[in-house]
Amino acid sequence: MEPAKNYPGITSPISLEGPKPVDLKLSEKLEEAMRPHGVFESEEEMSHRMDVLHKINTLVREWIKDVSRQKNNYPEDKIDAFGGKVCTFGSYRLGVHTKGADIDTLCVAPRHVDRSDFFSSFFEILKNTPEVKDLRAVEEAFVPVIKMTFDGIELDMLFARLALPQIPEEIDLRDESLLKNLNEKCVRSLNGCRVTDEILHLVPNQHSFRMTLRAIKLWAKKKGIYSNALGFLGGVSWAMLVARVCQLYPNAAPATLLHKFFMIIHKWNWPQPVLLKALVHENKFNLSFPVWDPRVNTSDRFHLMPIITPAYPQQNSTFNVTLSTRSIMTEELKDGLEIVSKIYEGREEWGALFEPSNFFQKYKHYIVLTASAVEEKDYLEWHGYVESKIRLLVGNLERNPCIKLAHVHPSPLGPLNESDGEYLCRWFIGLTFVKIENQNQNVDLTFDIQSFTNTVHKHAYHINLMKDGMKVEIKHVKRRQLDLYVPPKILLQSKRAAVAQEHRSSIGSASKSESNQTLHHSRSDTELVRSNSMSVDLSEEISQDAESSRDSVKSGSELSSTSKEAINGDVVSGSPVPTDSVMQSPNSKREASPAGSESPVKRSRSQDDQSAVESPMNVDEITPLKEEDGSEEKEEERQEPESEDKEEKPIVNQHVKRLPSADVPDLMSPQTNQNLPVQVMSNKNIRLKLK
């Protein structure tokens, strides 16, 4: 009798069934559907990447030799033995990188080479290398990095100094003993390689894992939910979700894994964590690095969508996720499940899963955040800095009692015409407002936006990043005004995606009974998941909470500024996410959240929804905003004349007295550092009246 095979994971697999002919055929079609999107590189492109890595590895080894000669006067016969190595991690190491993607690298050096050497002498070597372009160092980052373009390939290089006299060529970075006597920056730098290698070690079939992950990454990017910095999931988080599904179905084909992925992750009982292996608090090397555990660490209890890295010290890779981004991702997972279910039923093709998002048709109101600079070098630094702070603006908007959802599009757009300037990019945030029946609403976003701009500029001065010509501007626009900022091609794609989604919804409602059968099949799988001690609890209550209500997009709506249907035919996006009682605490330690007892208590979503049942929200009036051409926005909706003496009680200014975040106490408060030359939007009030 053959011994039972041990499968990786914290639970046993749900099914050991192998692929059927239909699964293999759908997997082949899946690969064919992904090829036009540039997810596979040619042999020539792969060879070029290998050549670039070989060159950068040679530079590192020669640099370590030079440092050894200058600092310690080692004899020449010993210098060659010190070694040094460039390791890869991220999508390239996982084998799922796409055409033109960057490569995440780690410079591993022996103990006599310091981090200061890396950011000084090695940086100078790179500066004098002809193949290197767009070179910049971010030494103050949480994980310090050097960014560059090496012979056309973008590289991000971290640095880790090991407590070893020599670096072996075949070193295994998964060995926990390497973490002994290391500082936190080196441990964080090593974590990328350690996590990537551990993921590959924990999946039962790497080929099926890679093909499924390629599909999920492409889908997430098309739907605009691929960005760790902006509160969505990054590459490593999506990889761990796919790896967990592969553990539950170790013998399944990629098409089957993709179907199971949407089934399980869509109904996951957040904030229950996703784990690839059990949490480890103690080890034989007596390392004392903090490990994610809400039972021990109070701050971990406020994480909304925890996905835990498998390498020690285990951490949450999704601490930037907010209520809005979790709601948006849940909605997209629900739509993905519907599409893949139809593909298995023969009623849809794989191309439907990779259609672009209808983001620019989904909302009536948008916030446009523009970052610009005069010089190219300044622009590269400013762009990355502003992008890292956008989640603060989303957090400000989320805490506004009138805003139900703030959806930031992770892909910025460049200048639309020459008058915009060469070094400029724009991010777009779609807004959905809380509906209140038979009540006029004054929505004042001025404080939320001005506090963000104050924070961005003051912190830039604080870290000596601010240069002349660096600007950040924020405007409110309606959907019909997007043609002033968004290329017509992207607007057309968004409109087509909205029409296609409406068409699928109409077909889905006509075949409701068939969908119920698919959901019944989904429950049979989730019951097996629930039977495991450490797996998810997929109760009916969570299933109902995860359902979202979305208005259909009118297919005849136009994007021109004179089209009334483009304003009224709006889609209310997002799903009502159940708010845990711990998340309602005003002392939440999520970054940029208000702290202290003086913070206002926001009304619960359930109360707002009950008071706003079937109450249409029409935009009646907006305080005129000067556009670039100097003209005021034309109002086309039906408006009632309003007397000048009539007073309306604003319902959003009550949160102005909230305390600043405890994370950045000297930067969030508008009252601090008043003498700094900070650009503010004092003359650009953003007020909306909702009826």
Catalytic residue among 156, 335, 525, 570: 156
Three-class DSSP labels, 330-384: HHHHHHHHHHHHHHHCCCCCHHHHHCCCCHHHHCCEEEEEEEECCCHHHHHHHHH
Catalytic residue of the set 217, 364, 389, 458: 217
310 sits in the region (left: phi over 0; alpha: psi -120 to 50; else beta) called alpha
Neighbours of 677 (CB within 10 A): 7
**Cβ(522)–Cβ(263) under 8 Å?**
yes
Q: 23, 68, 85, 104: which is the annotated catalytic residue?
A: 104
Nearest to 110 by CA among 134, 74, 143: 74
In terms of C-beta density within 10 A (0-12 exposed, 13-18 middle, 19 or more buried), how is residue 35 classed? exposed
CA distance 618 to 602: 23
Residue 598 CB-density burial (10 A; 0-12 exposed, 13-18 middle, 19+ buried): exposed
CA gap 653, 657 in Å, rounded: 9
Active site residue 217: yes
Question: Around 585, how many Cα atoms within 13 Å sit in the side-chain half-sphere?
Answer: 14
Choose the catalytic residue: 226, 312, 363, 379: 226
Q: Which helix (H) or strand (E) holds 473?
A: strand 471-478
- Whether omega for the bond prior to residue 313 falls within 30 degrees of 0, making it cis, is yes
- Is the separation of the CB atoms in 310 and 556 below 8 Å? no
**Separation between Cα atoms, residue 163 and residue 106, nearest integer Å:** 16
Structure tokens at 74: 């080692």
* DSSP code at position 552: P
Amino acid at 222: K
Beta strands in 549-594 (DSSP E): none
Active site residue 102: yes
> Nearest-CA neighbor of 241 among 225, 257, 224, 223?
257
Instruction: Determine whether 104 is an active site residue.
Output: yes
Q: Which of 153, 143, 172 is nearest to 236 (CA)?
A: 143
Cα distance from N-terminal residue to C-terminal residue, the chain: 73
Distance CA 477, CA 633 (A): 9
106: three-class secondary structure by DSSP: strand
Name which of 521, 508, 522 is nearest 268 in CA terms. Answer: 522
Q: Which of 219, 143, 217, 150 is nearest to 388 (CA)?
A: 143
Strand 619-622 versus strand 687-690 pairing type: antiparallel
Of 27, 68, 91, 372, catalytic: 91
In the annotation, is 379 catalytic? no
Q: CA quadruple 331, 336, 342, 344: dihedral positive or negative?
A: negative
Q: How far is CA 624 from the centre of its chain?
A: 33
- Residues annotated as catalytic are 91, 102, 104, 156, 217, 226
